[in-house]
Amino acid sequence: MATGSVREVLPPALDSHSDPPPIFDGTTRLYISYTCPYAQRVWITRNCKGLQDKIKLVPIDLKNRPAWYKQKVYPANKVPALEHNNEVKGESLELIKYIDSHFEGPSLFPDDPAKKEYAEELFSYIDSFYKTATSSFKGDGSKAGVAFDYIETALSKFEDGPFFLGQFSLVDIAYAPFIERIHPFLLEVKKYDFTLGRPKLATWIEEMNKNEAYTQTKSDPKDLVQSYKERFMAQL
């Protein structure tokens, strides 16, 4: 995708020693963490719309967070947050829709009412998808099968392309950061490859990996697996 082909030099994350940016000076800023899947959704959306020059990335070091972030930027003290028109908004699913409808660039949401309705169903399934997939980390991994079957079926619904709604959309962006983490973790730790026997899901991953707007936001899978190990293995 042409708009994704701008290769950016990514700024270093701000920590407790960093000064705040000049907040509310008219600049549109997207506060993220390089490792947060929710923030990644909004970062991908910004890249897909070719807004690299319009929306400035401000990465935050969540482990050593600057105090000004909660005090001056976003009282919820989470990422992502978007500073736009003298307001700060949060919640990744809200933000991807907001960026798609308030900024220039290709539309990432269909007009077709059947697709719109299905998009809402898929957005509301994400939390159960994540819960089912990660709860399976305790067993042999294959118990997550129902969650991946749901995805495989969803990917079969519209036949005009390999994505959730046929053509690439915000729904793909919403799922990608989670699939990016769960896939290498289950492969390495449980020796379970959820793409086996799920050809649509295998193709979806392949197609997503052709999109530079997305691949530029990806973390090293080794780091993702390591951070999931730290997070989930203690509970196993």
Ligand X SMILES: N[C@@H](CCC(=O)N[C@@H](CS)C(=O)NCC(=O)O)C(=O)O
The binding site for ligand X (CB under 6 A) comprises: 33, 36, 38, 62, 77-80, 90-93
Rounded least distance, CB 99 to ligand X, Å: 13
φ and ψ of 163, to 5 deg: -100, 175
Orientation of helix 199-208 relative to helix 170-190, angle to 10°: 110
Least Å distance, CB 119 to ligand X, is 16
Rg (CA), the chain: 18
Give min distance, CB of 235 to ligand X, in A.
Answer: 18
Q: Which is nearer to ligand X, 216 or 219 (CB)?
A: 219
* Nearest residue (CB) to ligand X, 59 versus 80: 80
Nearer to ligand X, 103 or 123 (CB): 123
Q: Are 77 and 69 in contact (CB under 8 A)?
A: yes
Please state, in angstroms and rounded to a whole number, the distance separating the CA atoms of residues 28 and 20: 14
Which CB atom, from 69 or from 192, has the smaller least distance to ligand X?
A: 69
- For the bound state, the minimum distance from the C-beta of residue 164 to ligand X, rounded and expressed in Å, comes to 18
DSSP states of 27-91: -EEEEE-TT-HHHHHHHHHHHHTT-TTTEEEEEB-GGG--HHIIIII-TT--S-EEEETTEEEE-
Q: What's the closest the beta carbon of residue 157 comes to ligand X, in angstroms?
A: 24
With tokens 């026997």, the residue in question is 197
Residue (62 or 73) nearer to ligand X, CB: 62
Distance between CA atoms of 16 and 172, rounded to whole angstroms? 34
Contact in structure between 146 and 132 (CB atoms under 8 Å): yes
Q: How far is the CB of 174 from ligand X (least distance, A)?
A: 9
37/50 with CB nearer ligand X: 37
H helices of 72-198, in order, are 92-102, 113-135, 145-155, 170-190
